[in-house]
Structure 1
């Protein structure tokens, strides 16, 4: 295992622990993958996050083969298919966060109740129809729900957030949970007003430079880390 490989595996398992610390997952319900080499790395099935070591992270090939005795997450199919279908995305985070999963139980998309929905790529976060976990049918549904988006819900299941890095995918999963909470709080008062597609398009333009420091500051932060 190279230093680069170990570092990426460590980042993945630390993100698994962060999901629970952030309150967007419980136990080992969630899973994370990241593009790596000629395939991808994915969290294993059934190993408590506090017991995870870099060696437990499973390296999978696009044909679903892998080496070693540690089994990958049962959801490897949608991780593989998302990464294979979307070269713009490098990491996938799946959680069972409470509020977003509640919206998925209703079978609702999350509408543009707040401008931060643009972080997911468009004016809504779609809810993929229910299919049993770990199935190819679910993977197919998810890839469709993610067209033009970086996040989706899965009916009666949970959340998928994907981005260019593990850190950004994890942050997006937190944003989805916040949006779901806002939406659910509005529902008892009636159908909430939403921002238009044109308004979200304007936000998407502003997001291209939102929250970015100058290259000099970014380099200083990188060296300090």
Structure 2
């Protein structure tokens, strides 16, 4: 069931490796089916390049297994918490991407210093408080920080990105890491300035409504 969504999740996982946002079997990807409300999730500890639709788990919003023989990612509980709280989020990606994770470890937000970050990420990326993986608190802390932006840093851990579908969550993950790298490098040679709020909104609207083939 939900083969198309399963393939989207697998493809996103492969692209995380392609864009060097994860190593080995790190990170995870999930998506919500709009018709059934079911969640499809990558399995725990398996290489993305080897995944087939049969490896992807389907659950309901309470975590009950609907289909699949593999153990889902240990972050399933956190993904489900976010989906239950945010009806407009239908794709979630977790990574430990290098430059963004630097700021998670430094316990700092990532400000918007370029239109590139404003485009898909949409705003300053806030830091959520530390909580153990798989705990109720982890999801609660992330949800507290979700606003107009499409990413949250996890203190001393990594990154969650999300969007209206899996593709948007992936784009946010890629563009956040690229922007975090620019921010990191800029801080080594100077003091970067944040974009004014009106320019952030302008860049985000342009990206959503004008950029690409509509």
**What is the TM-score when the length of structure 2 is the normalising length?**
0.91
Distance 1:17 1:199, change over 3 A: same
In structure 2, the partner of 1:53 is 52
Superposition CA RMSD, Å:
1.6
The 8 Å contact of residues 13 and 48 in structure 2, kept in 1 or not, is answered as yes
In structure 1, the partner of 2:186 is 186
In structure 2, the partner of 1:121 is 122
CA distance in 2: counterparts of 1:9 and 1:137, whole angstroms: 28
Q: Unaligned 5+ residue runs, structure 2? A: none
Alignment of 1:89-104 (within 5 A): 89-104=89-104
Alignment of 1:42-191 (within 5 A): 42-67=41-66, 68-118=68-118, 119-122=120-123, 124-191=124-191
CA distance in 2: counterparts of 1:13 and 1:46, whole angstroms: 14
The 8 Å contact of residues 117 and 125 in structure 1, kept in 2 or not, is answered as no
In structure 1, the partner of 2:20 is 23
CA-to-partner distance for each residue in 1:22-79, whole Å, 9 max, x for gaps? Answer: 1111111110010022321111111222221111111111112114542111001221
CA distance in 2: counterparts of 1:178 and 1:110, whole angstroms: 12
CA distance in 2: counterparts of 1:91 and 1:38, whole angstroms: 12
**What is the TM-score when the length of structure 1 is the normalising length?**
0.87
Distance 1:91 1:191, change over 3 A: same
Deviation, 1:121, is: 2.7
In structure 2, the partner of 1:221 is none
The 8 Å contact of residues 78 and 143 in structure 1, kept in 2 or not, is answered as no
The structure 1 segments of at least 4 consecutive aligned residues displaced by more than 3 Å after TM superposition are: none
- The count of residues paired between Structure 1 and Structure 2 equals 210
The 8 Å contact of residues 62 and 80 in structure 1, kept in 2 or not, is answered as yes
Give SS of 1:208's match.
helix
Q: Of the two, which has the highest radius of gyration?
A: 1
